[in-house]
Amino acid sequence: MAALSEYRLQRRVHFYETDAAGIVHFSTYFRYLEEAEHALWRAAGMTIAERDASIGWPRVGASFEYFRPLRFEEEFEIVIRIVEIGEKKIRYSCVLSSAGEKVAEGAMTIVCVTKRPDRPMKSTPIPANIASRFQVAT
């Protein structure tokens, strides 16, 4: 399997994602980004939250800039790209668009950590079997 650098996800706005005016709440965009991230990992043949895994992926940075609202029933596309892979972190960029118009642009950084009962999380190098499935988008 070739290493992945981006993924495109088609989506429609659900009613529960909107406010009383039918506009998507700003916080929902972060969920869209995470949904695309999980789809990217599945496309690479993995899951970001493997059951009983000894590592985890906390978010250490996330941001969005909004250009226009999304509304109930509107179809849109999420394009997530890997813009950086470090020893212990992965940074994504994300663009949401509808009908060829940019709706929002975001970014998120995740860090690989060890998960042990009764111990604090500690950053750790990304395992080679995971890092080899991804590459930085050009």
118 tagged catalytic: no
HSE value, Cβ hemisphere, 13 Å, CA-based, for 83:
12
Q: Maximum CA pair distance of the chain?
A: 49
Structure tokens at 82: 């890997």
Q: Can you spell out the DSSP letters for 11-60?
A: EE--GGGB-TTSBBPTTHHHHHHHHHHHHHHHHTT--SS-TT-SEE--EE
Catalytic residue among 19, 73, 84, 101: 19
Q: In whole angstroms, what is the distance from residue 94 CA to residue 105 CA?
A: 6
Q: What are phi and psi of 80, to 5 degrees?
A: -110, 135
**Active site residue ranges:** 19
